[in-house]
Amino acid sequence: MSYGYTGNILHLDLSSKKHWIEHPSESFYRTYWGGRALALYYMLTQMKPHTNPLSPDNLLIFAPSVLTGTPAPAIPRYTVCARSPLTGAQGEAEAGGWWGPELKKAGFDALIIKGASTTPVYLWINEGKIEIKEATHLWGKDTGTTQKIIKEELADEKIRIAQIGPAGENLVRFANIVNELKHFNGRNGLGAVMGSKKLKAIAVRGTKPIDLYDKEKVSLVTKEITKRVLDNPLSRDLRESGTPQG
């Protein structure tokens, strides 16, 4: 497999509670790279036109990029895609934080979810192993409480969790998905799609490094760009005061 990828795409059907792993060719990765390009490929090839955004037939796709999970600076981002309940069209939103890199290090370049559970569940991805866990006790709880309970249940503080709160559960059409309680996939109502599938959260743990072709070169580029980011006034203002101030 090409550098920067794991070679594994995880498919999950919440209606049947079955999952399988796809191993695309190198040419596929060279064409679609990851992120929104990869997600859009599956939306166009595996979802029927005019699919109801809140139906089980809608796909919910989590897709990091080729650089996510590597030491490249300021690139921890991942995309979530689905048909948007807010617009009815293709909806996409990115988020930062550690969830995207953790998915790659757990062994997957993307997660593609279809179907819907009849009762609330959360997904546990641990070093390539998949488990669908009951989440009725989490339904209705806010994100801080949910994250605390999941980490206690799975007995690992380093678990990264992407989840919805009550807005997503109640299918609010602009509901977000959040990881680490502060990094949001904040556009197009993708939290409502997650809620329609009765999927409360996706907990991920992975430690496998991503292979690089030239680690020394990546290290040099990382140091140079990090210096530029730290010295840039706009970067400093965003870091100290946040997006609204910037």
pLDDT in tens, 155-212: 999 999 999 999 999 999 999 999 999 999 999 999 999 999 999 999 999 999 988 8
Q: Which two tokens stand for residue 240?
A: 């100290």
What does the alpha-carbon distance between residue 27 and residue 68 come to, in Å, rounded to a whole number? Answer: 19
Sites in the chain below the pLDDT cut of 70: 1, 74, 246
Q: Which two tokens stand for residue 129?
A: 């192993």
For the chain, what is the radius of gyration of the CA atoms?
18
219 neighbors 73 (Cβ within 8 angstroms): no
Domain limits of the chain? 9-205, 215-245
3.40.50.1240, 2.60.120.200, 3.30.1540.10, 3.60.9.10: which CATH number matches 9-205?
Answer: 3.60.9.10
110 neighbors 38 (Cβ within 8 angstroms): yes
Count, residues in the chain = 246
Whole-number pLDDT of residue 1 = 61
Question: How far is Cα of residue 53 from the mean position of the Cα atoms in its chain?
Answer: 18
The structure's pTM equals 0.93
185 neighbors 45 (Cβ within 8 angstroms): no
Q: Which two tokens stand for residue 177?
A: 């998905």
Residue 88 DSSP code: S
